[in-house]
Structure 1
Amino acid sequence: MPGRFGLAVGGGIRDPQRWKDTVDPATGEPLATVASATPEEVDAAVVTARAAAPQWAERSPGERGAVLRRLGALVRRDADVLARLETRDTGKPLAQGRADIAAAARYFEFYGSVVEGFLGDSIPLGPGSLAVVERVPHGVTGHVVPWNYPAQITARSVGAALAVGNAAVVKPADEAPLVALAYARLAREAGIPDGVLNVLPGGAEAGSALVAHRDVDHVSFTGSVATGRVVAAACADRGRPALLELGGKSAHLVLEGADLGRAVPVIARALLLHAGQTCTAGTRVVVHESLHADLVAALAPFFTAATVGPGLGDPTVGPVVSAMQAERVRGFIDRAEREGAVVAAQTPMTDTGGGYFVPPVLFDQVAQTAELFLQEVFGPVLAVTSVSSDTEAIDAAHNSDYGLTAAVWCTDVDRALRTARSLDVGQSYVNGYAPGGGVELPFGGTRDSGYGREKGVEALREYSRTRTLFIDIASH
């Protein structure tokens, strides 16, 4: 692995004004020296993207799509290297890193294909006129990418933005920028013109410069609620649209008569995925009282049998991303015990050296007023709460400021579907759960989970705007 990673701008690599060392979460030791962009460097990247955008937009959807599909093929070609970069950068187990890279390739392939069928519309107004509605790119899109799923989130937002003809400036988190920088190199090999994809790692200063830039026409942001509100305000100040994917406190509603043999493994895997650092982790289980004891007993072995260790060793659970994040999660665990939650199971902790490891914890009897029930932890902590009816389960699910995803478990499908449709969330599953869902499924939330939709064909609408052409037809 090269020791230094510069700024990927205009098809080349530029040395920055300043460097920053990233840290391997599995060891706490330096991993790489990476550029940390200044506002001036962000401005230069936006100017570069602005110059490249018109020519890229003029290409046909078929031409842009072919290039994106080539990029997807190159990601698959380099999948092993990219997966290891993702694992070293974020700490996640290698199997999860490989799955993320496979999903990333699929995003580029999907958007490279579906854009060819992304059609406009016509409006019937009678024989004297013709109205046509076409979809056109915004121009320059800014993408602020978090540290938990950089490989996937970069691919899903950039893939859609480039497919409809935008030029992109990407600001990956300075904790985990390596795969996004690798995409910039592969994009040039795939034939994406210089300046169409620019990647500048950096911290809050770079992010603020990007989202407030006068020549950025659309911003996508994935991160915290507090920062998302700042991003929304910055975009509103200059009258530009924003897509916000913020936090989540997703609930599993295990109704009376649910099949625990089907539900429990899915609930456990979703929570343990990437040490719970997933906005759709499914961190609350709201279970009918008749199934409460059996559910906790069935969940416990997934926690006691889990392994914790460096991601390259492919354990069940790797480290969290930083020392600060580890302390944050431990604080939630300590406060939950003080508030009366009961530890039903916990993963044994072995000597893992100097990394940022937090053993997973299963909490039972979590009150609906407790911090653990209400707030996003972003760590491997699951809260179980019992209720006595479907109505109470729905009310409990809504007892949160978030509205990202949820799952309903019940063998009575009519009852499950009624419940799922009553939930104020962006994605609602029945007898299954996939954190974030597939490439084809629109993804986003309600309330404090943000607005706008990534993924699926819906993302092509987000990264484009309508233009109406009206033609008056002269009579004979």
Structure 2
Amino acid sequence: MVEYELLIDGDGREGEATLSVTNPATGESLGSVAKGTREQAREAIAAAARTKDEWASAAPSERTAALTTVADELEAVAGDLAYLLAEETGKPLATAEGEVGEAIAQFRFYAGVTDKVRGDTVPTPDHRFNYTKRVPYGVTAHIVPWNYPLLLGTRSIAAALATGNTLVVKPPSQAPLATMWVCELLVEATPAGVVNVVPGSGSEVGDELASNADVDAITFTGSVGVGQHVLSAAAEHITPVDVELGGKAPAIVLDDADVENAARGVVQGIFSNNGQNCVATSRLVVHESLHDELVSRILEKTERITLGPGTDPETDMGPVITDSALEEMLAYVEGATAEGATVIAGGKRPDDPALEDGHYLEPTIIDGVTNDMTVACEEIFGPVLSIITVDSTAEAIEVANDSRFALAASLWTDRLEATQLADDLDHGLVAVNSFPVSMPQSPWGGNKESGIGREGGLEGVEAFTTVNSVVVEFDEMEDPYL
């Protein structure tokens, strides 16, 4: 059993209660974390505010050393950390291992950025000198999602620390344990008060982080509804917010695409991480000339998927995070058939007795979907693929863009003008002949209702700094009232 306290101003603190964490594959208890209160969130914010000037003025080499130390320590425990992550989220062990590796890579990337946060000089008349400085916001709040807590959490945490900000982190209530492990290492590697961690409810801890006047910037990844609440709460104090919200990524397969390559990418794009992926390619937009062959290959690959606990090395797809989430997914499938679509694979709980204690949904494929159906419009956040057939490239682009979400898209084609077609897609990330992927050096974020701002890469520096402009006048001022 794993147990964690709150981490405030360098010390462990008890909460008013505890949050129990269970394995979604078995229902067994894994441990607990202290549940913080609104007042404890305020204490964490105060600690971060007290140390923000000290950390902002620390030598870049000091921040580099802290991030590098954490990366080294994570490498030493990577296997155990990945196993815990697979236990609490249900994701396959290989996916968890990849996520831990990505977190380590992000710490190393931003460790190399600390002494490269630069301003600029601005052309002016000879009697003036104008330069700019990138400076940290100060206290940053990080509300971490449960589906990729290490990948998405450390992306913002590492960038914020590298640029001289202090932190208050709210781990996800459904799966906080791996995040707490990483944050303990961060607390040990930085001065007291620089990193503070307060698990707790969104209505209490999350709301305090979003509305507190002493929080200088906020980053949130999650649903559109909660994101709207965070933006609304932050508006009272005009607090900058970087949000990554929902997705309904199209996988566009044009008539000249390599069918086998596309089938591999579509299957992995929708069923990886148990379908619980903000960039899951949940809408397959396929040219009618390739529909039958592509669907046949996708079905053949889907049938080979092994369901099971994430910690089993043989598992390809694990359970979804909660039973209530599973019930919502089943309702979406039922609604799709009511609207005239056809379930051609999955669509129900598996009948394997060995899986009856977990929140499992068979990998599901629905054909005959039109882009106005509910299953094509709303983010299901599970292993459900909707197939939409088109008769031209122009229609494919139109369908792909016809969504309130615009986080990511994939485009499968051998056309030389692939980059031109990518320009026509109104999505924050476009992958050509691949499903959408994350890299530490690459920016990440969405358009429309999928979010505001970009994290990752050097854009992560911009996300956690603001620009101050300094103008130096060399000539004496004229007396204006002579």
Structure 2 residue 195 is matched with structure 1 residue 197: yes
Aligned partners of 1:271, 1:377: CA distance in 2, in Å?
11
The answer to whether the 8 Å contact 1:271/1:282 transfers is yes
Q: CA deviation at 1:60?
A: 2.2
Query: Which residue pairs with 1:407 in the alignment?
Result: 410
> Which aligned pairs between 1:231-270 and structure 2 lie closer than 5 A?
231-270=230-269
Q: Which amino acid aligns with 2:48?
A: A
> Which aligned pairs between 1:288-307 and structure 2 lie closer than 5 A?
288-307=287-306
Q: Which amino acid aligns with 2:429?
A: Q
SS at match of 2:285: strand
Q: Which amino acid aligns with 1:194?
A: A
Q: Deviations over 1:225-283 (max 9, x none)?
A: 01111111111111111001000000011111111121111111121111110010110
SS at match of 1:85: helix
Aligned partners of 1:184, 1:10: CA distance in 2, in Å?
13
The answer to whether the 8 Å contact 1:180/1:199 transfers is no
Structure 2 residue 380 is matched with structure 1 residue 357: no
Structure 2 residue 61 is matched with structure 1 residue 87: no
SS at match of 1:142: strand
Q: CA deviation at 1:159?
A: 0.3
Q: Which amino acid aligns with 2:439?
A: G
Structure 2 residue 396 is matched with structure 1 residue 393: yes
Give the stretch that moved more between structures: 115-124 or 142-151: 115-124
SS at match of 1:264: helix
Aligned partners of 1:349, 1:369: CA distance in 2, in Å?
32
Aligned partners of 1:474, 1:385: CA distance in 2, in Å?
68
Q: Deviations over 1:166-191 (max 9, x none)?
A: 000011111111122111221234x3
Aligned partners of 1:316, 1:338: CA distance in 2, in Å?
30
The answer to whether the 8 Å contact 2:409/2:436 transfers is no
Q: CA deviation at 1:413?
A: 2.3
Query: Which residue pairs with 2:464 in the alignment?
Result: 463
The answer to whether the 8 Å contact 2:453/2:463 transfers is yes
Query: Which residue pairs with 1:31 in the alignment?
Result: 30
Percent identity between the two aligned chains: 36
| 1:349–1:456 Cα change, 3 Å | farther
Q: Which amino acid aligns with 1:232?
A: L
Aligned partners of 1:198, 1:185: CA distance in 2, in Å?
9
Q: CA deviation at 1:41?
A: 0.7
Q: Which amino acid aligns with 1:227?
A: V
Name structure 2 gaps, 5 residues minimum. 477-482
Query: Which residue pairs with 1:447 in the alignment?
Result: 448
Residues paired across the two proteins, number: 471
Query: Which residue pairs with 2:275 in the alignment?
Result: 276
Structure 2 residue 420 is matched with structure 1 residue 418: yes
Aligned partners of 2:375, 2:444: CA distance in 1, in Å?
25
Aligned partners of 1:85, 1:36: CA distance in 2, in Å?
20
Aligned partners of 2:399, 2:244: CA distance in 1, in Å?
22
Q: CA deviation at 1:349?
A: 4.5
SS at match of 2:112: helix
SS at match of 2:26: coil
Query: Which residue pairs with 2:156 in the alignment?
Result: 157
Q: Which amino acid aligns with 1:423?
A: L
Name structure 1 gaps, 5 residues minimum. none
SS at match of 1:208: helix
The answer to whether the 8 Å contact 1:303/1:360 transfers is yes
Query: Which residue pairs with 1:62 in the alignment?
Result: 61
The answer to whether the 8 Å contact 1:303/1:346 transfers is no
Q: Which amino acid aligns with 1:360?
A: P
Query: Which residue pairs with 1:434 in the alignment?
Result: 436
The answer to whether the 8 Å contact 1:308/1:349 transfers is no
Q: CA deviation at 1:89?
A: 1.3
The answer to whether the 8 Å contact 1:37/1:200 transfers is yes
Q: Deviations over 1:77-109 (max 9, x none)?
A: 111121112111111011111110000011111
Query: Which residue pairs with 2:318 in the alignment?
Result: 318
Query: Which residue pairs with 1:472 in the alignment?
Result: 473
Q: Which amino acid aligns with 1:256?
A: D
TM-score (norm 1): 0.96
SS at match of 2:113: helix
Residue 375 of structure 2, aligned match among 363, 372, 397: 372
Aligned partners of 1:474, 1:64: CA distance in 2, in Å?
39
Aligned partners of 2:252, 2:19: CA distance in 1, in Å?
44
Q: CA deviation at 1:66?
A: 2.4
Give the stretch that moved more between structures: 341-350 or 55-64: 341-350
Q: CA deviation at 1:466?
A: 0.6
Structure 2 residue 181 is matched with structure 1 residue 182: yes
Give the stretch that moved more between structures: 443-452 or 55-64: 55-64
The answer to whether the 8 Å contact 1:8/1:181 transfers is no
Give the stretch that moved more between structures: 276-285 or 197-206: 197-206
Q: Which amino acid aligns with 1:431?
A: N
Q: Deviations over 1:13-40 (max 9, x none)?
A: 1111221212211112322122111101
Q: Which amino acid aligns with 2:431?
A: Y
Task: Please tell me the root mean square deviation across aligned C-alpha atoms, in Å.
Answer: 1.4
Query: Which residue pairs with 2:6 in the alignment?
Result: 7
Structure 2 residue 137 is matched with structure 1 residue 134: no
Q: CA deviation at 1:6?
A: 1.1
